[in-house]
Structures are given as C-alpha cells and as structure tokens.
Amino acid sequence: MIHEYLPADCRERIKDLLKEREMSQAQLAEKIGISESAFSRYLSGQTDKLSTENIVAIAKVFDVTTDFLLCLTDVPFTTNFDIEKLGLSVKAAEKLLQRKVDPTVVSQLIELPAFNRLIFQLAAVQRGVLDTGYQYMNEMFSAAKTLYVDHVQDHPEDRQAAKNALADIRALAMIRHEANMAGVEDAMRQIVTEFRKGADSYLAETQKLTSEIMRKITGHLQKQMNQPMKLQGITPEMMVDGIIHYLQETEMTDDQLSALRSDLIPLFTKPSDLAEQKMLTADTMQ
C-alpha cells in the first residue's frame, strides 16, 4: 500500500523525514544551501517560513513532492499515472474511479507476493502455454505405457510390476484443464493466506498510528495548559480542540470543523456532567 503520513505542519513533516532518513539538521541545511542556525530557528518556530527555493530543494533531497512538504497531501510522491502506463483497460479504470471495487483491497492484493504467481498462472492459461506443456507430458506417459506393454509381452513374469507402473502413470497424467486450474487454485489459496497475514499487520499498524495521534493530541493539550500533564485537569473542550487542531490540516471547511466540534464535545463529557449542564441550562431559561 502507499504509505501515508499523519496530518502535520511543514516543520513536523521535515522533522519526520529527517528522523526517517536518519539525517541531521546540519546535513540537510548544507544540502539546501542555508546556515544550520537559520534552519534550526525555522524548525523550532523562531522564524515563520522557508523560501520557495528552500522548499523545492528539501523536496529534491528527500525525493518527495512540494505538496507533501506543504501538507497539501499526506502521500509523499506523485500518484497521478496515465492509464496507458498502468496498463489498465478503460473499464477497469472506471471501476476503480467509481469505487465499484474497493481500490484499497485491490492495492493490497497486487502487493502480495502470491499475486504475481496467480497472474503468471492465469496468463499462461490464456496463452495456452500450460496446455501445450502438459500435452507433451501426457504424450510421454502414453509412450511409456506402450513400452511397458511391449516389455510384458516378452517377460510375462513382470506383469504385476508393469501393472503397478501403469497405474502410477495414469495417476500422473493430468487432464490439461485440471492441471491449469490446479495451479490457479493453489495460487489463490496462497493469496488468501497472505491477505490474512496482511490484515493482521494492518491492524497492528493502525493501532500504532492511533497511539501516535493521541500522543500528538495530548502534546498539544499540554502546551495549552502550560503545566505538567494532569488528566484530571483536561476538559472535554480541550480534548476536542486538540483533535480539531490536527483536522485543520485536512480539506474540511471552518463550518464543518465547528459542527464536528459541537458533536464531539458530548462524547468526551461524563453523563453526570451532561445532566448538570442541562439542569443549569433549564434554570437559566426559567
């Protein structure tokens, strides 16, 4: 699957890339042609922004798009490919674009090692390569049977041994269609096994990402409180504001974020607190 990063600002994205590529701030500053101190001030928030030339240079160093650095996308490289380059038919592309098939599942299947084997088997069936191969094999078995029959005529004492050998040959001689489909079915079983393993791995990765999101949210709340983290000091509004802060990097409008904030606050409020708020509201209206 295409690796996506957590929503972040430009500074956090550069820090993530530095950590991922095991590169120091000094090394990157040298590569893009600015002083280490100026670059450090930007990453620490002491200066507002980098020049366009610096952003382009950083994108080239890390081999990512400028849109990714500017947090306009969470995918680090360009994903717009020509249909002809991908080798997709128009109907296949339409199904993916119209979500008639789940593109995420399709991507996971294509990335499985066993998928290559399945495609090879299906392509071989289509070209008739396996048909021809097994036809030759069965012809060889037929010739072997003739030799056994001739041998028994000259050596009757070997009749039982020849009979057993002929039974083995008949078991080995496969119908061409069955031979082809056996390979396809075996590859499909392997895909199911690998897909199940991938699903377990994806679940573990999702849990890890969830933990990372919560770490960033609590970090944002900690800055807001400007004091050591104490869970009992966190209000529902503060929790929701922490979430909204990171959703601002998405394409959601201000109205959508505001509506979402209103919907989320009750989820972080204890039932007893909600009841108390309703009573206070009722008293005020009276």
What's the residue count for the chain? Answer: 286
Q: Which of 74, 17, 13, 12 lies closest to 251, judged by CA?
A: 74
pLDDT of residue 1: 42
How many domains is the chain partitioned into structurally?
Answer: 3
Q: Which residue range is the domain that position 257 belongs to?
A: 235-285
Does 213 share its domain with 119?
A: yes
Instruction: Give residue-wise pLDDT tens across range 249-264.
Output: 666 777 778 888 888 7
Among 198, 222, 246, residue at a domain's last position: 222
Cα(47)–Cα(90) distance, rounded to whole angstroms?
Answer: 49
Does 42 share its domain with 17?
A: yes
Does 247 share its domain with 193?
A: no
40 token code pair: 């450090």
For the ranges 140-144, 148-152, 157-161, 162-166, the maximum mean pLDDT occurs at: 157-161
Does 272 share its domain with 174?
A: no
In a domain, 254, yes or no: yes
pLDDT of residue 136: 56
Does 117 share its domain with 204?
A: yes
Among 171, 191, 222, residue at a domain's last position: 222
Q: Which DSSP symbol is given to 4?
A: -
pLDDT of residue 160: 77
In a domain, 4, yes or no: no
Does 174 share its domain with 214?
A: yes
Classify the phi-psi angles of 34: left when phi > 0, otherwise alpha if psi is within -120 to 50, otherwise beta. beta
Does 216 share its domain with 239?
A: no
pLDDT of 145 higher than 60? yes
Mean pLDDT of 118-124: 70
Cα(213)–Cα(216) distance, rounded to whole angstroms?
Answer: 5
Does 60 share its domain with 140?
A: no
pLDDT tier at 118 (50, 70, 90 boundaries)? confident
In a domain, 182, yes or no: yes
Return the percentage of the chain with pLDDT > 90, whole number.
10
Range with the poorest average pLDDT among 2-6, 24-28, 139-143, 240-244: 2-6
In a domain, 34, yes or no: yes
In a domain, 154, yes or no: yes
Cα(11)–Cα(32) distance, rounded to whole angstroms?
Answer: 15
In a domain, 32, yes or no: yes
Three-state SS at 191: helix
Range with the poorest average pLDDT among 69-73, 100-104, 195-199: 195-199
Among 174, 191, 222, residue at a domain's last position: 222
Instruction: Give residue-wise pLDDT tens across range 155-189.
Output: 777 777 777 776 666 655 544 445 555 666 776 77
Does 162 share its domain with 216?
A: yes
Range with the poorest average pLDDT among 56-60, 66-70, 159-163: 159-163
Cα(75)–Cα(63) distance, rounded to whole angstroms?
Answer: 12
Does 249 share its domain with 173?
A: no
Range with the poorest average pLDDT among 50-59, 88-97, 145-154: 145-154
For the ranges 21-25, 94-98, 146-150, the maximum mean pLDDT occurs at: 21-25
pLDDT of residue 229: 47
In a domain, 260, yes or no: yes
Cα(249)–Cα(71) distance, rounded to whole angstroms?
Answer: 7
pLDDT tier at 27 (50, 70, 90 boundaries)? very high
Cα(86)–Cα(134) distance, rounded to whole angstroms?
Answer: 33
What sign does the CA torsion over 91, 96, 100, 102 have? positive
70 token code pair: 């500017």
Cα(93)–Cα(87) distance, rounded to whole angstroms?
Answer: 10
Mean pLDDT of 206-224: 63
Q: Which DSSP symbol is given to 102?
A: -
In a domain, 78, yes or no: no
Does 29 share its domain with 57?
A: yes
Does 126 share its domain with 191?
A: yes
